[in-house]
Amino acid sequence: MYNSKQMEQTKTPESFTRYAKNNLSYNKDAIVMYIDMNSFFASCEQQDNPDLRNKPIGVITHPAANACVIAPSIEAKKYGAKTGMRLTEVRELCPQIIPVLARPPRYRDYHVRIISVLKKYCDDVLPRSIDEAVMNFTSYRLVYDDFTVIAKKIKADLRVICGEYVKCSIGIAPNGFLAKLATEIQKPDGLIEITPENIDGHLSKMKLTDLPGIARANEKRLLTIGIRNPLMLRHASEALLRKAFGGVVGNYWHRRLNFGEVDMYKNGYRGMSAGRTLSRLQRESKQSMESMLISLCTRLEQRMVKQEVFCRELVFSIKYYDGTRWDTKVKLAVPSQDAMDMRKYIKQKMDEFEQVRRTALLNNKVQHMGVAISNFVTDKHMQYSLFDNQIRRDLLRKAMYAIKDEYGKNSVRRAAETIQHDVMRDAIGFGSVKDLYEGNHFNQYLLEDDVLGAKAERSTQKKKVDLPDIDWDVFQDEEVRLEYQRQLQEAG
């Protein structure tokens, strides 16, 4: 049985623990399933808005004529539109393209729904990105008879929980890399299994650059030693591949293509960064740029509080439209996670530069601002001075974020955050989803819209919806799925 309370329970760090580790041995009998959502952001928008369905749309980062298209729909891709193109470029290929402004909290909500479905079939689920996840079924070989049947059931369940327009390609193979490669063979809505018996047949039809991780530079290295295609790469010796890649990376490639597992890992943070491209209106206002700096520092503060770490190094950078840039690095004598401290150190460096050069760093030529932090120390290893109040400030900060956890991220703010609080739009990428599962907490903030005021948030975020239980054994019945989907839509 599967109900709304269980869906809520999936939003905990324990639900996303990774149990399996890399295995340097070669295991042809392992079973790994890779789920890759098709045109994910665009598909979510088409699911939510019937007027966009079956039309070429492009999800854009901000409302501008030359905005970046971060997700063209399947229909737009048929015209040649690609992720990362500017909207003007896409219009040349597809004049009827419909630009849609990105809604990051909505896509994260879909991501959580997807993971909740996957967890029904396997405890060993690792989210690889906002639109990808890998499932290790190796210990389930005696539980399930046919994993292609399981993949089809997952697709059917996703259609109910997310909607018929949110589709995925699924790959099955003895390791994560080959399972991901299988998802690339058939899109959209594909299902391919790579086995020891058919792997050579699949690889023989590919180019080196069809392999995830092999770009032009690596292709050139391989061509230099006589490896011209993925099939030759698979059957090359480890010694030759070490020579080609310059070390242990060659061993990794040999294992990937011969059923070893080297990609099942979860990195901790070595650094964090936050950056934004400024709009024309923001560039014209020094207050907007100051508020952007505060917002960037606040975003990093929130992440450090969730991770329970403090930074010892801080880098601030400004890029200008003429191609020039200004950077500064600050090494902190006392590790910090406080946004206003970070802003203070950055402003000190900016003031020193401006006094010498007699020029303003924040001007109407600013294109991008970014803050990066690194060299972390955990809160357990913090050493405090007896002569300041940093301990009390750190406890107050924790209390503030505890209130945010309970009542919404905008229920309490610093005074500095209320000045042009919406200057930094929420952003989302296809990369890591570690921010959702930071530290010992599920980051509920990332599922919330950036609306100032606790009342508005609590009315939406704290609303409880009682949905009917699902009998997953009969969930393959079309009428059952349609009825549940109708009730889910009515519940909002």
Q: Catalytic residues, which ones?
A: 132
3-state secondary structure 61-99: CCCCCCCEEEEECHHHHCCCCCCCCEHHHHHHHCCCCEE
- On whether the CB atoms of residues 34 and 134 are closer than 8 A, the answer is yes
- Continuous segment of H or E residues that includes residue 369: strand 366-378
CB atoms within 10 A of CB 334: 13
**What burial class does residue 126 get, using C-beta atoms within 10 Å of its C-beta: 0-12 exposed, 13-18 middle, 19+ buried?**
buried
- On whether the CB atoms of residues 481 and 159 are closer than 8 A, the answer is yes
Alpha helix (H) residue ranges in 138-266: 147-161, 176-185, 199-203, 216-224, 230-235, 238-245, 248-256
- On whether the CB atoms of residues 288 and 420 are closer than 8 A, the answer is yes
CA angle 29, 180, 158 (to 5 degrees): 100
Instruction: State the number of CA atoms in the 13 A half-sphere of 374 facing the CB.
Output: 7
d(CA 81, CA 64): 18
* Residue tagged 């803050």 (tokens): 371
CB atoms within 10 A of CB 116: 20
- With H, G, I as helix, E, B as strand and everything else as coil, classify residue 258: coil
Measured in degrees and rounded to the nearest 5, phi and psi for residue 63 equal -75, 90
Spatial neighbors of 16 by CB under 8 A, at least 6 apart, are 115, 125, 126, 127, 437
d(CA 116, CA 130): 14
d(CA 242, CA 234): 13
- On whether the CB atoms of residues 416 and 349 are closer than 8 A, the answer is no
- On whether the CB atoms of residues 3 and 234 are closer than 8 A, the answer is no
- With H, G, I as helix, E, B as strand and everything else as coil, classify residue 132: strand
Q: Which residues of 400-426 are buried (b: 16+ CB within 10 A; e: fewer)?
A: bbeebbebbbbbebeebbeebbebbeb
DSSP for 371-384, written as a single string? EEEEEEEEGGG---
DSSP for 237-248, written as a single string? -HHHHHHHHTSH
